[in-house]
A and B are shown apart, each in its own frame.
Chain A
Amino acid sequence: MHKTDRIRSLWVDELSRVEGEGALDLVLDGDEIVDLRFQIFESPRFFEALLLGRSHTETPDITARICGICPVAYQTSSINAMEQILAIEVDESIRDLRRLIYLAEWIESHALHIYLLHAPDFLGYPGAVAMAADFPDEVRDALRLKKVGNDLVALVGGREIHPVNPRIGGFFKAPSRAELASVTTELEWAIDAAVRTVSLVSTFPFPDLDLDYEFVALSAPNEYAIIDGRIRSSGGIDASVAEFNDLFVEEHVEWSNALHARVRDRGSYHVGPMARFNLSRDQLHPIALDAARHIETVVVNPFRSIVVRAVELVHACAASLDIIARYVPPDPPSIEGHIRAGEGHGASEAPRGLLYHRYCIDTDGVITDAQIVAPTSQNQLSIEEDLRRLIPTITELPDEEMQHRLEQAIRNYDPCISCAVHFLDLRVSRS
């Protein structure tokens, strides 16, 4: 950070405790923002181009590789899209197994973000390892919570990162009742630990910043939507997933390797735990709803997203336990569809928000078109707007504190920058 008489410029060249590579560029003239850019310079990997010419059956394995933190989300959205084309309707036992591995990913991802990435901001540590010196029990609980989620993903999926078991039509192999029952005791512990997490993070100091967002999330009739649903928003949207491109547009801005999404003819929107909570709070598991009793019914302060994430952690643990209790292995574990040419749309609720996939396949089942819209690119405009609202309230702070507060505001979104970079455009420079 350099200071002249009036102009302050701040350049955070490597954001920490986010997944992937991002940066923040801010120029202030007095209290006025001259330039603000939340940059994503993660190297583009061109997944939508790489998918062309591949078999539709490969999408769960290939798209998982977009994100090591939420591979199940990618697998699920891609499977939903392909099953729409192949006219596959899976039964409740397969849906339960899908919910279970997805909830387990929420547990792993939320525990990681709450404790290892975000809590250090509020408590004033560079990271969880440093935090462990003063908060040993909390960090040990955090790692144990994360492990419960990971163990459950591995139990259903074969391994924590890039699970091998999910496929179009269901699973390659259904785990036995006894295998799933092996995590029951740990999940019971995890529910209590997650409830303690809600209490802990509720005591954190939150800056005052109430914002007016359009919240967008999936919604389902009988559950806190996770594996599928209709797209709903606090601005009145109620539409099928197939209408995604009618509702939202993506645009490319010069300073970022990710696309910015906005509601067509409106503006930014907000996806993720706060959107889900604000739109579907009543559908939370009763234990989670009870844990949320002291929390406002509509959360509009982005810094309080950590509290909502903790409530969802309770939900994910409790809902997982319920599924295991009623689990009957699907037989057969997967259903075959009929390959035909067509277009399919799929969405699900990744830990950090709505994840949309669209594919076209030909009569041989070969992919001819692919579109993937990740949560972080949908939130990118909201993140920048949050920063614009926040900055005027903190210009009195010394440089270092101001930078820290801005980084914290970005981390409110649990941004997954590796995921955000998914698009097709590139300029080739030859060496």
Chain B
Amino acid sequence: MTKPTLAIWKFASCDGCQLSLLDLEDDLLDIADAIEIAHFPEATSARLDGPYTVSLVEGSITTPRDLERIRTIRDQSNVLVAIGACATAGGIQALKNLADVDEFIELVYATPSYIDSLATSTPISSHVDVDIELRGCPVDKYELFELVGALLAGRKPDLPTYPVCVECKARGVSCVMVAAGTPCLGPITQAGCGAICPAFDRGCYGCFGPAETVNAGSLADRWRELGVDDERLVRSLRTFNTGAPGFVEAAASVVE
């Protein structure tokens, strides 16, 4: 029986999400045993031609060349998974989508440039069909392991869509917003990280993007009670998942 093949692809990103695969130190050799790593330039110079059983795609689409590449990758992939905030929401670099483009060009055109760049940073799903999205900036390596394992077993991966608050309760962390008056995005942010920030006495800053349901009005009221101005709340929503629909709408509702 031939092994299923796994390909890793990179667009505009920090490399952190694909590095999460190498950070599965205890399981890496077993994964490599179960699946043929067909394309993973960060880790190996060996390359196999497609089609690929599973493609993991990191990064956002920011150049004309990216547009062509992602279509080719889609054509060659049975299952295409977008991993991390860049691939699922355009990443922090999607902040440039909000800038007045003309002003931005003026700002940066002081010296001539040789760079080809699109005016926007967009998620993979804006350009091709995406089968599964794995959230996070970076993704959680155990969620990544669960995902790869589920795909190999032909089952649906078990990934939460509830908010970080549930993980705080599960971890036994007392609510930083209630107990310490620390502004926290946990109530509207999707779980998956394990509530790391509240466990370290700071508010969640939304790495995993919007939870399934986002009550932005209620969160904004609570932040205002804590003395946070709306400008800071909007900025918090416009960071690593600035292009995620739930956060886009939440930021827009606060601006209004």
Residue of B nearest to A144 (CB): B25
Interface string of A13-34 (1 = CB under 8 A from B): 0111111110000000000000
* 8 Å CB interface, B213-256 against A: 232, 235, 239-240
Q: CA A165 – CA B63 in complex, angstroms? A: 34
Q: CA A407 – CA B44 in complex, angstroms? A: 12
A340 CB to closest chain B CB (Å) equals: 19
The one of A19, A71, A143, A429 in contact with B118, judged by C-beta atoms closer than 8 angstroms, is A429
Chain B residues touching A, range:
35 or more
A16 CB to closest chain B CB (Å) equals: 4
Q: CA A38 – CA B104 in complex, angstroms? A: 29
Interface string of A333-344 (1 = CB under 8 A from B): 000000000000
B160 CB to closest chain A CB (Å) equals: 17
Known: A43-B12, A50-B96. A254 touches B114 (CB 8 A): yes
B44→A16 contact, CB < 8 A = yes
B66→A43 contact, CB < 8 A = yes
The one of A15, A67, A71, A161 in contact with B23, judged by C-beta atoms closer than 8 angstroms, is A161
A127→B46 contact, CB < 8 A = yes
A353 CB to closest chain B CB (Å) equals: 17
Interface string of B112-140 (1 = CB under 8 A from A): 11111111010000000000000001100
Question: Is there a chain A Cβ closer than 8 Å to B29's Cβ?
Answer: yes
A418→B44 contact, CB < 8 A = no
Interface string of A168-212 (1 = CB under 8 A from B): 000011000000000000000000000000000000000000000
The one of A21, A62, A71, A126 in contact with B92, judged by C-beta atoms closer than 8 angstroms, is A62
The one of B107, B193, B235 in contact with A159, judged by C-beta atoms closer than 8 angstroms, is B193
Q: CA A254 – CA B115 in complex, angstroms? A: 8
Q: CA A120 – CA B96 in complex, angstroms? A: 39
Question: Is there a chain B Cβ closer than 8 Å to A320's Cβ?
Answer: no
Question: Is there a chain A Cβ closer than 8 Å to B14's Cβ?
Answer: yes
A21 CB to closest chain B CB (Å) equals: 7
A17→B32 contact, CB < 8 A = no
Residues from chain B with Cβ under 8 Å of A158 in the complex: 196-197, 199-200
A18→B200 contact, CB < 8 A = no
The one of A45, A49, A129, A165 in contact with B44, judged by C-beta atoms closer than 8 angstroms, is A129
Residues from chain B with Cβ under 8 Å of A21 in the complex: 10
A50→B196 contact, CB < 8 A = no
The one of A44, A161, A425 in contact with B19, judged by C-beta atoms closer than 8 angstroms, is A161
Q: CA A425 – CA B114 in complex, angstroms? A: 8
Known: A45-B62, A161-B23. A127 touches B45 (CB 8 A): yes
A173→B201 contact, CB < 8 A = yes
Stretch from B35-43, B49-57, B71-79, B145-153 forming part of the interface with A: B35-43
B15→A62 contact, CB < 8 A = no
B10→A16 contact, CB < 8 A = no
**A interface SS class:** loop
Question: Is there a chain B Cβ closer than 8 Å to A146's Cβ?
Answer: yes
Question: Is there a chain B Cβ closer than 8 Å to A230's Cβ?
Answer: no
B119→A126 contact, CB < 8 A = no
A428→B14 contact, CB < 8 A = no
Q: CA A428 – CA B97 in complex, angstroms? A: 12
B43→A129 contact, CB < 8 A = yes
Residues from chain B with Cβ under 8 Å of A165 in the complex: 200, 202
Q: CA A254 – CA B112 in complex, angstroms? A: 10
Question: Is there a chain B Cβ closer than 8 Å to A55's Cβ?
Answer: yes
Most A-side CB within 10 Å, residue of B108, B109, B119, B232? B108
Question: Is there a chain B Cβ closer than 8 Å to A46's Cβ?
Answer: yes
B29→A428 contact, CB < 8 A = no
Residues from chain A with Cβ under 8 Å of B109 in the complex: 425
Interface string of A52-72 (1 = CB under 8 A from B): 001100100110011111010
Residue of B nearest to A165 (CB): B200
Residues from chain A with Cβ under 8 Å of B183 in the complex: none
Residues from chain A with Cβ under 8 Å of B205 in the complex: 61, 164
B118→A159 contact, CB < 8 A = no
Known: A427-B117, A430-B119. A164 touches B197 (CB 8 A): yes
A-B contact pairs, 24 of them (CB 8 A): A16-B42, A45-B92, A46-B93, A49-B99, A50-B93, A54-B235, A58-B235, A65-B92, A68-B14, A120-B45, A128-B43, A129-B43, A140-B29, A143-B25, A146-B23, A146-B25, A164-B202, A165-B202, A167-B202, A407-B45, A428-B118, A429-B117, A429-B119, A430-B118
What are the 10 A-B residue pairs with the smallest beta carbon separation, nearest first?
A68-B16, A127-B44, A425-B113, A126-B46, A43-B12, A16-B45, A147-B25, A143-B25, A68-B14, A45-B93
Interface residues, chain B, with chain A CB atoms under 8 Å away: 10-17, 19-20, 22-23, 25-26, 28-29, 32, 37, 40-46, 59, 62-64, 66-67, 91-93, 95-96, 99, 101, 104-105, 107-109, 111-119, 121, 137-138, 141, 193, 196-197, 199-202, 205, 207, 232, 235, 239-240
Known contacts A44-B115, A55-B232; 14 additional CB pairs below 8 A are A45-B92, A61-B239, A65-B16, A65-B137, A68-B13, A126-B45, A127-B37, A129-B28, A130-B46, A146-B22, A158-B200, A257-B115, A418-B13, A428-B105
